[in-house]
Amino acid sequence: MFFLMFVFAAIRGSGDADYYNYLWFAKDIGTDFSKVLNFSYPVETSFRLASFFINLMGLSRQWVIVLMNFLSIAPVTYVVIKKSTLPFLSAIIFLPVFLQFDMQTSRTATAIGLGLLSIYLASEKKRLRSLLVFILALTFHKSAMILLPFLLYLEIDLSNISKCIIAFISLGISLFSKVIFGLAANIFSKVGLARLAQKIVTYTFEGKFAYGMKLYDPRIIYFFLLFIVSIMYLNEKSLGDDRMSKASVKGMVYGLCVMLVFRSSTAIAFRFSSYFVVLEMFYLPMMIRKLKDEDSLAAFLLILSIVVFLLPYALNIAIDAPAYDFFFTNPMAIESLR
């Protein structure tokens, strides 16, 4: 199923403006290595470098899209095969992330896929490899920075009471997060990070993305319910030496806190939290299998949540997305690839 997702995303010739922007940036970079070294260029280093080499080899710029989708889906496939108790279910759970990112904003998708691999390697105590993969993710999209505190969190265990206190503090911060964003934008603009400051302003105070998440947003509620399930049925010793399952449980805690803290900007909260939404691919199958014998009703409700929330959510994303077309049949894609 993951292979079909990769093919579907790699040969797409449509999407939102990002698809055409990627092709334009790849064309603009060409074989000019000075643009690869230009750190003020609008896209990150690894995208610039990939575009440079693809142009240097005389390949179609569609290969930039293919490469990013491969670096997104291949790590996800690898970790799911290695660690998921129900790989097919994991693939279904991955659908909203796939449709939102791999089919539209490929740089973020690449960072999310590599971020998952970094989390897996960290959970296996392969810290140097994890750090290197994290840096690679960061060079595709700066939003991957949200992973750094989580990688540190993987090194410690917290009691359920501590997790609840942290979640409650995050809720408190969320009530003032717009003020915090405003202060951050002012500070960044004064220390030479005007571009970052402008992005905060755009996503929080101005433009079509400048709106906050309500506390009753279904995405926050779903994260909260998964967090509550972990508090009810798990403790520090519940999972023994199953490190990836422990990482997925921590992802429910951290993801909820991220969504709360940054909820004054839906775009930022959604993008940051998606690095931990992918851990639901491991958390949900693990909890369903664990609760099947301990509490069959709870297991059923988790399965039901996939049917009544995740699948309709994926369907809604697909309906709202631009019409799908191949890169070799869509006139706009053909023109952009020239």
Mean pLDDT of the 323-332 span:
74
Radius of gyration of the chain from its Cα atoms, rounded to whole angstroms:
20
Q: Which residue has the higher pLDDT, 321 or 96?
A: 96
pLDDT at 14 over 70: yes
The first and second tokens of residue 52, run together, are: 């440079």
Instruction: Choose among 220, 4, 228: nearest CA to 95.
Output: 4
CA pair distance 68, 83, nearest whole angstrom: 23
pLDDT at 203 over 70: no
Give the pLDDT of residue 209.
62
Least confident of 80-94, 144-158, 186-200, 313-327: 186-200
Give the pLDDT of residue 265.
83
CA pair distance 117, 78, nearest whole angstrom: 8
Give the pLDDT of residue 336.
63
Helix (H, G, I), strand (E, B) or coil at 154: coil
CA pair distance 27, 74, nearest whole angstrom: 26
Give the pLDDT of residue 12.
84
* Rounded percentage of the chain residues whose pLDDT exceeds 70: 92
Task: Provide the pLDDT confidence category of residue 223 given band limits of 50, 70 and 90.
Answer: very high
Give the pLDDT of residue 192.
66
Task: Provide the pLDDT confidence category of residue 210 given band limits of 50, 70 and 90.
Answer: low
Burial category of 254 from C-beta neighbours within 10 Å (exposed 0-12, middle 13-18, buried 19 and up): buried
CA pair distance 102, 110, nearest whole angstrom: 8
Give the pLDDT of residue 257.
94
Mean pLDDT of the chain: 87
Tokens 């030479």 appear where? 192
Give the pLDDT of residue 331.
66
Give the pLDDT of residue 294.
86
Mean pLDDT of the 58-62 span:
87
Give the pLDDT of residue 207.
62
Q: Which residue has the higher pLDDT, 272 or 186?
A: 272
CA pair distance 284, 230, nearest whole angstrom: 10
Instruction: Choose among 321, 322, 318, 298: nearest CA to 310.
Output: 318
Give the pLDDT of residue 189.
74
Tell me the DSSP string of 213-247.
PPTT-HHHHHHHHHHHHHHHH--TTTTTT-HHHHH
Q: Which residue has the higher pLDDT, 34 or 211?
A: 34
Task: Provide the pLDDT confidence category of residue 244 given band limits of 50, 70 and 90.
Answer: very high
Task: Provide the pLDDT confidence category of residue 193 given band limits of 50, 70 and 90.
Answer: low
pLDDT at 115 over 80: yes
Cβ–Cβ contacts within 10 Å for residue 34, how many?
8
Identify whether the C-beta of residue 92 lies closer than 8 Å to the C-beta of residue 103: no
Give the pLDDT of residue 66.
93
Of all helices (H) and strands (E), which one includes residue 255? helix 243-261
Identify whether the C-beta of residue 237 lies closer than 8 Å to the C-beta of residue 159: no
pLDDT at 208 over 90: no
pLDDT at 17 over 70: no
Least confident of 150-159, 194-203, 229-238: 194-203
Task: Provide the pLDDT confidence category of residue 240 given band limits of 50, 70 and 90.
Answer: confident
Task: Provide the pLDDT confidence category of residue 116 given band limits of 50, 70 and 90.
Answer: very high
Task: Provide the pLDDT confidence category of residue 338 given band limits of 50, 70 and 90.
Answer: low
